[in-house]
Structure 1
Amino acid sequence: MAAKGSTAEELDVDGVKVRLTSPDKVYFPKLGKKGTKRDLVDYYLTVAGGPMLAALKDRPTHLQRFPDGIEGEEIYQKRVPQRRPDYLETCQVTFPSGRTADALKVTHPSAIIWAAQMSTITFHPWQVRCPDTEHPDELRVDLDPQPGTGFAEAAAVAVDVLKPLLDDLGLIGYPKTSGGRGVHVFLRIKPDWDFIAVRRAGIALAREVERRAPEAVTTSWWKEERGKRIFIDYNQNARDRTFASAYSVRKTPIATVSTPLSWEDLRDADPDDYTMVTVPKLVADRDDPWADIDATAQSLKPLLEMVEADEERGLGDLPYPPSYPKMPGEPPRVQPSKKVAANWDEEGNPITGR
């Protein structure tokens, strides 16, 4: 609830007027008076004009909103309201269902502050840039700890397995904390391939990481098969799958931030050290570890060659999320423990007529 006497304000965001209402409403109860809407907006003001704008620039972006704070209702907003300020821009995206929507297109810091005013805690950009929303310019690696593992294990896989593999392939990755227990690594790529090709490239990369560290890594879509390993969520490269952006605050009691790090800093990092209270000073005091991410758009050719090699081994596509239509070449979406062997042939296709 807004405190008595809380009034609306008008902020000047790089020449654009953005209205701020209920600045004293508490969004992060554990932080008390340091966890208000004003604190959230002040945080975004420190990063919106620099590294965060660079991460979101021209990307269609979904908004994870909490109008009553993180302990209240969550709204995952994919469409920008029809009634919106004139300074906002939009970009049409197409979902797996074929439906379209006008998503927020971030072009100016005012868009970030407007979203924060609308109770956005976390920004979720697509891996494309407008107007070409059919060809990703990012390949994203999601190192997702499973029960019994945590950030330390994810960071170890990133530094000791993924980074050397990328070096072998002549590719450059840029890591960040997820803001939770996981690690994200982004690769800037040429927008020459569609979502299907980029996802398959991500699968090939994940499979090779798994081959190099089978006791620590899994690519299994089915939770019952993952065990105490780091799951590489290859489906984060599918259409309409989004990550928390760099410098986004997360829905955690201490307002952790998804923070870009150097490979050297990642190994010994503690994700709880990066919050909306601490990150502004970090950004001011250090060189940006992602400063060169847009310098070179990389080719997917090394990874697509790995796709071909996997296919020669008999390793084809992997399951899509259940919300997607059946995709060409996709294996059956049947949980292993529920699969009756007699109903499937040797190639994994269902036997009809039974």
Structure 2
Amino acid sequence: MGTYREKRDFSRTSEPSPEVSAPAGGGVFVVHKHDATRLHYDLRLEIDGVLVSWAIPKGPSHDPADKRLAVQTEDHPLAYATFEGRISEGNYGAGDSLLWESGTFDTVPPGEASAQLARGRLHVALHGQKLEGEWHLIRTRPVGKKAQWLCIKAKDGTERPGYDVTVERPESVKSGQRVTRGPKRRTASKAKAKATPRLRSPQALLARVGTPMLATLAQVEATDAADWRFEVKYDGFRALAAVHGGRVALHSRGGHDLSERFPAIAQALEALGKHEVVLDGELVALDAQGRSRFQLLGKGAEERFVVFDVPWLDGEDLSPLPLEERRKKLEGLLARVKPPLALAERVEGTARQALSQARRRGWEGVMAKRVGSVYAPGRGEAWLKLKVQANQEVAIVGFTPMANERPEIGALLVAVREDGAWRYAGKVGTGYSTQVRRDLLKLLSRDEVKKPLVKEAPRVRDALRHEEAVWVKPRHVAQVAFTEWTEDGRLRHPSFQGLRNDKRPEECVRERPRETPVRRGPSARGPHRETGRKARPGKRAAGRTATARKGAAGEPVVLTHGERVLFPAVGLTKADVFAWFQDVAPLMVPALAGRPLTLQQWPQGIQAPGFFRQGVESAPDWLTVTRIRHEARLLSHVVVDRPESLLWLANQSALTLHMWSSRVPHLKQPDWVVFDLDPGPKGTFEELIELTLGLRRLLERLGLASVPKTSGKRGLHVLVPLAPGHTYARTRAFALQVFEALAQEYPELATTEHAKTRREGRLYLDAGQNAWGKTVVAPYSLRALPHAPVSTPLKWSEVTRRLDPTRFTLETLRRRLDKVGDLFAPALEGGQTLPSSS
């Protein structure tokens, strides 16, 4: 215990001191997920009144073939078996330490823990929530300052080759927290100071944060298997607000500016002018009892911006923080604000108690938010909507005239989107004032069509005048309250609540509440479409016409020749490519924003010749391009700054996008150093992996974090994100210096010799990608190979000899993104400065 005590100042650390009493557990074992200098897992076994501890860098494995390194560390007191928290900066082991696993253990045969430990050969049977079965701990080096052991799964029938428990079960068994933060580094503080000037407007700050987090409709039973916090569910317009440099932006979920519609709220946000912040909340109108009512918006009722989350604050991305930490920061930020700004109201108790209170007080429902969950873009199961009264967003596809010949509608005919088509959802005849009926008639009469655009549209006639319904193009969205869905997919007793100009008709899908419990432990969801349907990896039907959100000019991006097969070997069509770019737009747009692109296009499919294209001669007016002089000629490069830009490129069969390392207007300042590693015609992938890991070690010795990704072919890219102000000359010199050091460390595998005759079959390390105008394949881009591979960001823990880049394809990657989220995001954070010696 002496070593444990010597390394810690218990007046500064939250860890328990040896004097803290703890009952003997009778064979307790725990595993801490500890994000210190590096993320690792600390296995602790109760032996002779202390917790004997080992640091396992990769965590325990269920595969007997994995021989995991386990470095024995100092013994810990028994009280550490319940410890979880953040070890503050300046202390030994600074960083988050989660109680990842706990349970009981014994040796095989029982009762020999002390003797087996002394022999350096432990055979233990663990009984926990994630680790169940037998493991061997074998000392490989004599007892010393840090004895090294191997942790190996026993072949006892519980082994699971191919199952990575640290990936599948990342959460704490105590709090459910999933994401960890390591210690703050000096470069991180510089990152805040230097990265802020890049965000030159509140609009740019909103673009940096990206798509908001969305909730899933659920029954109360869905909350039975995890820990939740509850808030009032407000009935209004979802909005994101950004404050930067004393200026304010207030946008709808779809990116529409709401400042003019809610001027008092935009003005109130200026009170936060000292901060750089993004707030997520709901714009609501209050009735006489103080309850939010969607139908009162814009009708002169008292309005509020009710804030429930803060994904960005003062230069720091808060989205990886647990829900409760973000809420604490939000409460501190809004402690002194006054109406029309307000903090979302918490509701205490269980889900059933919260919902019961919602019924008594006349609320729409409550929001259930999973404890420990991160703020992740798109729709997932960390936030659930529990409603008292059902309501649904529907597309207006027609109307019936008023029976008494007044210039009013009698009822709306509505539909929802299902499998790429409109499905009739019923007739809405109540909930209107006379003025609303007249306004709707004027609005809808502009869009009349001869035939209904609805699947299985019924023949609807007015009962008195026997006049057929008027069908219209689905351009407008209504919100309706109703009692239930009928068996044939119609709304029972629907009532009109108002128009929603913050939603697109294509987003109107039938919400089906989740009934089964959400599994314990929060998970960051990948990018789903805002319709709420999980993106399917299957193929799109040939010939389907897909329409995305509108460009700035108001014209939709329409897919043409969607039936054309671009990848014959796997049967993927242009429609599949269009759908892929649509699904990954929330991840690709932030990575590509401001960067000139070079395109690789295959309009006749990859079996026919493709071509490179730097400049575009003709493009829609709304598409952003930048004019750049290349020696004697000016070229117009496409710049992706919205999802529609990606879809336009998909319709041009631009499968592979090559991006600059710098952005407009600072094209001479790269955002990262690029290390492009390719095994070449004679090298092996195993050699490439060895070199890549060597490169990582060199960078870490320089204090530089890096982000790996596959090239989509045989190579790997490693990016070192930088703070603003670096030049291409400096990044190229640094890359060359690092590559030369790498070649010296691996002289038989790699060389920086430019002449092919002098390479002698070794992998060529080329720093030339770090030059003005040079490009690197964008993350999530497709490559023109038969199986449709994708350039895929990686965790460093995946860069091993078992890595197989060929498994990351258009058909498989959606499922991966649902699990791991956006692994490229750290490459966009910058903040690092290259060593002056470079």
TM-score (norm 1): 0.78
Report the counterpart of residue 41 of structure 1 in structure 2. 578
1:291-306 equivalences under 5 Å are 291-300=825-834, 302=835, 305-306=837-838
Matched-pair identity in %: 33
Report the counterpart of residue 143 of structure 1 in structure 2. 677
Structure having the higher Rg: 2
Report the counterpart of residue 273 of structure 1 in structure 2. 807
Contact 2:669 2:727 (C-alpha < 8 Å) held by counterparts: yes
Contact 2:628 2:635 (C-alpha < 8 Å) held by counterparts: yes
How far apart are residue 61 of structure 1 and its match? 0.8
1:1-354 equivalences under 5 Å are 9-13=545-549, 17-32=556-571, 35-49=572-586, 51-81=587-617, 83-95=618-630, 97=631, 99-159=633-693, 161-267=694-800, 268-300=802-834, 302=835, 305-306=837-838
Measured in 2, the distance between the counterparts of 1:60 and 1:15 equals 19
Letter in 2 for 1:59: R
Q: SS state of the match for residue 243, structure 1?
A: strand
Moved over 6 A (4+): none
When the two structures are aligned, how many residues end up with a matched partner? Answer: 294
Contact 1:176 1:183 (C-alpha < 8 Å) held by counterparts: yes
Report the counterpart of residue 311 of structure 1 in structure 2. none
TM-score (norm 2): 0.34
How far apart are residue 183 of structure 1 and its match? 0.7
Contact 1:146 1:226 (C-alpha < 8 Å) held by counterparts: no
Q: SS state of the match for residue 569, structure 2?
A: helix
Measured in 2, the distance between the counterparts of 1:24 and 1:119 equals 12
Contact 2:544 2:563 (C-alpha < 8 Å) held by counterparts: no
Letter in 1 for 2:547: L
Measured in 2, the distance between the counterparts of 1:202 and 1:263 equals 20
Per-residue CA distance 1:183-228 (angstroms, 9 max, x = gap): 1011111332332222122111211111221112211222222233
Measured in 1, the distance between the counterparts of 2:611 and 2:736 equals 30
How far apart are residue 246 of structure 1 and its match? 0.7
Measured in 2, the distance between the counterparts of 1:74 and 1:265 equals 32
Measured in 2, the distance between the counterparts of 1:48 and 1:287 equals 13
Q: SS state of the match for residue 47, structure 1?
A: helix
Contact 1:176 1:260 (C-alpha < 8 Å) held by counterparts: yes
Give RMSD over aligned pairs.
2.0
Q: SS state of the match for residue 31, structure 1?
A: coil
More strand by share: 2
Measured in 1, the distance between the counterparts of 2:639 and 2:551 equals 18
Residue 20 to residue 169, structure 1, CA distance change in 2 (3 Å): same
Q: SS state of the match for residue 87, structure 1?
A: coil
How far apart are residue 283 of structure 1 and its match? 0.6
Residue 127 to residue 141, structure 1, CA distance change in 2 (3 Å): same
Measured in 1, the distance between the counterparts of 2:702 and 2:775 equals 25
More displaced 10-residue stretch of structure 1: 228-237 or 37-46: 228-237
Contact 1:257 1:275 (C-alpha < 8 Å) held by counterparts: yes
Letter in 2 for 1:78: Q
Report the counterpart of residue 325 of structure 1 in structure 2. none
Measured in 2, the distance between the counterparts of 1:27 and 1:189 equals 37
More displaced 10-residue stretch of structure 1: 214-223 or 273-282: 214-223
Question: Tell me, which stretches of 5 or more residues in structure 1 are unaligned?
Answer: 307-354
How far apart are residue 9 of structure 1 and its match? 3.0
Letter in 1 for 2:589: L
Measured in 1, the distance between the counterparts of 2:809 and 2:783 equals 9
Report the counterpart of residue 333 of structure 1 in structure 2. none
Per-residue CA distance 1:306-342 (angstroms, 9 max, x = gap): 4xxxxxxxxxxxxxxxxxxxxxxxxxxxxxxxxxxxx
Measured in 1, the distance between the counterparts of 2:732 and 2:826 equals 24
Report the counterpart of residue 99 of structure 2 in structure 1. none
Residue 183 to residue 219, structure 1, CA distance change in 2 (3 Å): same
How far apart are residue 8 of structure 1 and its match? 7.6
Measured in 1, the distance between the counterparts of 2:823 and 2:748 equals 30
Contact 2:602 2:654 (C-alpha < 8 Å) held by counterparts: yes
Q: SS state of the match for residue 305, structure 1?
A: coil
Contact 1:146 1:227 (C-alpha < 8 Å) held by counterparts: no
* More contact order relative to length (CA 8 Å, sep ≥ 6): 1
Q: SS state of the match for residue 713, structure 2?
A: coil
Measured in 1, the distance between the counterparts of 2:748 and 2:709 equals 23
Letter in 2 for 1:223: K
Per-residue CA distance 1:147-205 (angstroms, 9 max, x = gap): 3213332122112x111111100111100011111110111113323322221221112
How far apart are residue 22 of structure 1 and its match? 0.5
Report the counterpart of residue 326 of structure 2 in structure 1. none
Letter in 2 for 1:137: D
Residue 219 to residue 128, structure 1, CA distance change in 2 (3 Å): same
How far apart are residue 7 of structure 1 and its match? 5.5
Contact 1:43 1:277 (C-alpha < 8 Å) held by counterparts: no
